[in-house]
Structure 1
Amino acid sequence: MKTAESATGALHAPNRFVDVGNRRLAYRSIGAGKPIVLCNRFRGNLDAWDPAFLDALAANDFRVITFDYRGLGLSTGEKTYDPFALAEDARDLIDALDLQGAVIGGWSVGGMAAQVVVALYPQKVSHAVLIGTTPPGPNVKPAEQLFYDTAAIPDYGFEHEVILFFEPRSARSREAARRSAERIAQRTEARSVPVPADWAASILGTRPKSPLFPADALLEALKVTDIPLLHVGGDHDIIFPVENWYALNQQLPTLQLLTFPRAGHGPQHEHPEACAAHIATFVRTTA
């Protein structure tokens, strides 16, 4: 039997709160089934996710949980983009909601946090879904300066979103960006609070870093994990090039790679139903 929560779509999911430690985490939950907890991108809040992607996951028998990191959006606490602190937020939310056998997911910096969860709290999760993110350790391909120049713009508009999350050279990708932006804009009530742009820019810096995720010990942990990992990426991700995952071929024993052509940093917004279906198949067929 469907509950009111499971029947609610992403556009109308209510904001909920849980007190953990010295902070209150804001979250939303839709669907029923295996829980998947999604860690957000840089400058993302509860409203940064494409509702079509979340609804497609729910249609594939997931309970989909999104949340605001500590001190950001509607959550309280000291704000940070330290992946280890963000992983604590995910862990504490999993514990507070008593989620058993959860999938940990993450987009961009959220994908870094998800990898930390796999390494430090493996008993909490069954699978990891990493979207548009980077592996820890050395890189074979750096980020592009264009991302740093664009992501730091205080009030970026549609054309900036195309640069950041899609493939501007592809007419199909640009059209997908337009549709995604329209879907996200449909939620007009009970929205989260934007991430402070000046603070985020100070964390980001102005130039590409190498490595992008300096955590060699974490890389070593991923080399021996038995938790299935899936990375979903675009073939032209200007901040976290997918080539850095392929460079780890035969080093990460549980890693599967799904790469969409003519796509960028947000493949789940360009291909929401396909991404959700791939994720569902991955979770169902790996253990």
Structure 2
Amino acid sequence: MPQLELDGAALTYDDEGPRDAVDVPLVFVHGWTANRHRWDHQTAHFSGRRRVIRLDLRGHGDSTGAGVRTVAELAEDVLALLDHLEVERFVLVGHSMGGMIAQTIALAHPARVERMVLVNSIGRMTYSRGRGLLMAASTLVPFKLFVAANIQRAFAPGYPREEIREHVRASAGTPREVVMTLYGAMRAFDVLDRAGEIRVPTLMVHGYHDVQLPVGQMLRMAKAYPDAEVRILDAGHELPLERPAELTAALERFVTVKP
């Protein structure tokens, strides 16, 4: 597994597919407590004919390091990796927190982003008073229970319980400092008022049953985008796991260059 040493961290990444492909590379960014393998289905599908890059964010998966306090700092890590790989222009695909990272990059470096796909992501986390109190209280429970509560509710009803337990165990392996710090970073993330500045073609794919980042919040963001398409799938917050083939098909339609 190749790694990039960066500011006290070692970022593990995969760089697959032909370097001489006509289309620009696809760059996949996972979400909170996840890892680059969220994108296994999409990587297998696309890497036969175009370059595909995915990474484990700092402190996640096979990457080491901590210390990042904001989504913008995670975006800097992603850009540092792309600069290291000499990738100037790309299609960004981000899930959940990864979509927040993608929006941050698109705002700061619009010329580098050819297209963007936001999967179960939003531009501002908005809570009702009741949900805000519930989320605040959840940080007071033991760490493993906090992680389990958040991951379990990410899946739509009917998703296999044993698979959910596996994802809970994997997420709980993320260092506590990373989990809690980035939980706060997501709650503080807010670019909704700047959504109109993001003029790259954007696909927003969301799960109808997403209670982590409700679909209504995504639709509010979509209204502000000058060039956005929306797809709603029968799933919860974990579309890359719950509906991998459907997500890949949606990506295929959006990123394939038409003659």
- Using the alignment, how far apart are the partners of 1:138 and 1:159 within structure 2? 19
Say which is worse superposed, 83-92 or 62-71, in terms of deviation: 62-71
**1:148–1:204 contact (8 Å) kept in structure 2:** no
Taking a change above 3 Å as real, the CA distance of residues 95 and 270 of structure 1, as seen in their structure-2 partners, is same
Could you tell me how far 1:27 is from its partner in structure 2? 0.5
Q: How many angstroms apart in 1 are the aligned matches of 2:75 and 2:42?
A: 22
Is 1:264 matched up with 2:243?
Answer: no
Q: Which has the higher helix share?
A: 2
| Local SS of the residue matching 2:144 | coil
Change in CA separation of 1:160 and 1:85 when aligned onto 2, cut-off 3 Å:
closer
Is the contact made by 2:58 and 2:64 (CA closer than 8 Å) also made in structure 1?
yes
Aligned to 1:12: none
Letter matched to residue 266 of structure 1: E
Q: Partners of 1:96 and 1:106 in 2: how far apart?
A: 20
Which residue matches 2:28?
38
Q: Which moved more, 1:265-274 or 1:68-77?
A: 68-77
In 2, Cα distance between equivalents of 1:69 and 1:143: 28
For these two proteins, the number of residue pairs brought into alignment is 250
User: Alpha-carbon deviation of 1:111?
Assistant: 1.1
Q: What are the equivalent positions in structure 2 for 1:181-260 lying under 5 Å apart?
A: 194-197=173-176, 199-201=178-180, 203-204=182-183, 212-215=187-190, 218-260=191-233
Instruction: Write the letter of the residue equivalent to 2:14.
Output: R
In structure 2, runs of 5+ residues without a counterpart are: none
Q: Which moved more, 1:265-274 or 1:70-79?
A: 70-79
- How far does the alpha carbon of each residue in 1:116-151 deviate from its partner, in whole angstroms, 9 at most, with x for none? 000012122211111111223767899684898599
**TM-score of the superposed pair, with normalisation by structure 2:** 0.77
Is 2:144 the partner of 1:165? Answer: no
> What amino acid is the match of 1:196?
P
**Separation in structure 2 between the aligned mates of residue 148 and residue 88 of structure 1, nearest angstrom:** 31
Give, in angstroms, the shift of residue 88 of structure 1. 0.5
- Measure, in 2, the Cα distance between the counterparts of 1:147 and 1:266: 22
SS at match of 1:154: helix
Partner SS state of residue 232, structure 1: strand
Deviation sequence 1:175-231 (CA, Å, 0-9, x none): 5x767999x9xxxxxx9x9411465146536xxx9x94542xx33432032211111
Report the equivalent of 1:3. none
SS in 2 for 1:247: helix
* 2:88 pairs with 1:88: no
From 232, 240, 251, the counterpart of 1:279: 251
Partners of 1:117 and 1:194 in 2: CA distance:
28
Residues 277, 31 of structure 1: CA spacing in aligned structure 2 closer, same or farther, 3 A cutoff? Answer: farther
Structure 2 residue matching 1:233: 3-state secondary structure: strand
Which segments of structure 1 move beyond 4 Å, counting only runs of 4 or more? 20-23, 137-153, 155-161, 177-182, 211-214
Q: 1:137 to 1:249 in 2, by over 3 A?
A: same
- Report the more deviating stretch, 116-125 or 145-154: 145-154
User: Which position in structure 2 is the counterpart of 1:11?
Assistant: none
Q: Aligned to 1:136, which of 115, 120, 124? A: 124
- Give yes or no for contact 1:45–1:194 (8 Å, CA) kept in 2: no
Residues 86-135 of structure 1 deviation map (CA, whole Å, 9 limit, x = unaligned): 11111111111112431112111111111100001212221111111122
Q: Percent identical across equivalent pairs?
A: 24
